[in-house]
């Protein structure tokens, strides 16, 4: 059981598999949260392969500008194939390579969970915002609020124990509004709001779901061998039946929390 072409880079696999299944839908949602409009200068922090940056580009028009920053050069390589109109740049969220008050809006989509210093990253986002600018940062909600992924965590726990289950939980660690507000307070951001927004995960089949997770080097890809993935697939074939449509498609909710704040 392996539907993934291993000759592709992890960034290419992310863009070809995870983006349509999970992340593409969020570009417009986060752009709305940051109130991105005509003429805005926008920064997408931890831009990955460019989902949010491209959504912002569609909104700013010829008078605006969009920059996308990521620490992973392979992600940026894929992003550059999508648009030459975005200023793609390598760098870290904790030390943004931009001057103070450079942007009307700063946004970030599903990157903050992996930042080394989250308060420092938020301080940097606010620093590069102009007065009156808007920030919007999306993170995965708690895994228990995503029934399909909560089921997958339980399977991993049962089959392989804490180490593997905890690795899969990593992207969901900020799914707590109180914790997000605490991080904002530590960053010196007053008046931040946290709102839950609904989203959906959709895969072509149970095999596609497990194969895609196998390809993710940031969670399961580096932890399970062929025999272990075969065990996982056999268990998932039974357990995921409640999420399967007649055509075999798998779909379930995966909400996000979006932090928004303005700069006085």
DSSP symbols for 48-106: TTSHHHHHHHHHH-TT-EEEEEES-HHHHHHHHHH-SSSEEEE--GGG-SS-TT-EEEE
- Domain count for the chain: 1
What is the Cβ-side half-sphere exposure of residue 128, based on CA atoms within 13 angstroms? 24
Q: Which is nearest to 213 in space by CA: 147, 153, 253?
A: 153
What does the longest C-alpha to C-alpha distance in the chain come to? 56
Tokens of 172: 């969901």
Residue at 87 is within a domain: yes
Return the percentage of the chain with pLDDT > 70, whole number.
97
In a domain, 77, yes or no: yes
113 belongs to a structural domain: yes
Q: If you average pLDDT over every residue of the chain, what do you get?
A: 94
- Cα–Cα distance measured from residue 9 to residue 6, given in angstroms and rounded to the nearest whole number: 8
Q: Looking at per-residue confidence, does 221 or 167 come out higher?
A: 167
- Mean pLDDT calculated for residue range 142-158: 97
So what's the pLDDT on residue 5?
A: 56
> What does the pLDDT read at residue 71?
97
Residue 2: inside a domain? no
Residue 104's domain spans which residues? 10-262
Give the residue-averaged pLDDT of 214-238.
85
Q: Is the pLDDT of residue 132 over 80?
A: yes
pLDDT at residue 213 in the model:
83
The residue with greater pLDDT, 214 or 87, is 87
Look at residue 246 in the predicted model and tell me its pLDDT: 96
In a domain, 4, yes or no: no
CATH number at 108 reads 3.40.50.150
- Does residue 199 sit within a domain? yes
Query: For residue 109, what pLDDT band results from cuts at 50, 70 and 90?
Result: very high
Assigned domain for 1 exists: no
Please, which pLDDT band fits residue 6 given cuts at 50, 70 and 90?
A: low
56 pLDDT above the threshold of 50: yes
Q: Tell which residue, 108, 109, 80, 82, has the closest CA to residue 22.
A: 109
pLDDT score of 236 more than 90: yes
**pLDDT value, residue 88:** 98
Q: Per-residue pLDDT tens for 181-220?
A: 999 999 999 999 999 999 999 999 999 998 888 877 667 7
Name the percent of the chain lying above pLDDT 90.
86
Amino acid 151: pLDDT = 97
Which residue from 71, 186, 187, 175 is spatially nearest to 126, judged by alpha carbons? 187
pLDDT for the residue 1: 45
Can you give the pLDDT at residue 9? 84
Calpha distance 109→195 (Å, rounded):
14
* Position 254 in a domain: yes
Closest CA to 83 of 45, 110, 103, 57: 57
How confident is the model over 9-14, as a mean pLDDT?
86
Task: Give the pLDDT confidence score for residue 85 in this predicted structure.
Answer: 97
């Amino acid at each position: 059981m392996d539907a993934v072409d291993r000759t592709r880079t992890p960034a290419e696999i992310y863009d070809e598999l995870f983006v349509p299944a999970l992340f593409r839908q969020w570009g417009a949602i986060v752009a709305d949260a940051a109130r991105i409009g005509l003429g805005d200068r926008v920064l997408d922090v931890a831009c990955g392969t460019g989902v949010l940056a491209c959504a912002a580009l569609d909104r700013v028009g010829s008078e605006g500008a969009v920059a996308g920053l990521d620490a992973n050069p392979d992600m940026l390589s894929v992003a550059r194939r999508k648009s030459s109109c975005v200023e793609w740049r390598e760098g870290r969220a904790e030390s943004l390579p931009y001057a103070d008050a450079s942007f009307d809006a700063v946004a970030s989509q599903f990157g903050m969970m992996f930042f080394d210093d989250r308060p420092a990253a938020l301080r940097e986002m606010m620093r590069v915002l102009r007065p009156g600018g808007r920030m919007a940062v999306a993170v995965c909600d708690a895994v228990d609020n995503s029934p399909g992924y909560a089921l997958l965590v339980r399977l991993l726990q049962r089959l392989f124990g804490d180490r593997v289950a905890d690795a899969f939980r990593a992207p969901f660690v900020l799914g707590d509004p109180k914790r997000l507000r605490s991080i904002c307070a530590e960053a010196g951001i007053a008046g931040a709001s946290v709102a839950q927004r609904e989203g959906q995960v959709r895969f072509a089949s149970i095999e596609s779901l497990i194969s895609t997770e196998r390809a993710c080097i940031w969670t399961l890809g580096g932890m399970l061998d062929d025999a272990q993935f075969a065990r996982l697939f056999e268990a998932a074939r039974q357990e995921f039946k409640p999420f399967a449509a007649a055509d075999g498609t798998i779909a379930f909710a995966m909400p996000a929390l979006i932090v928004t704040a303005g700069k006085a």
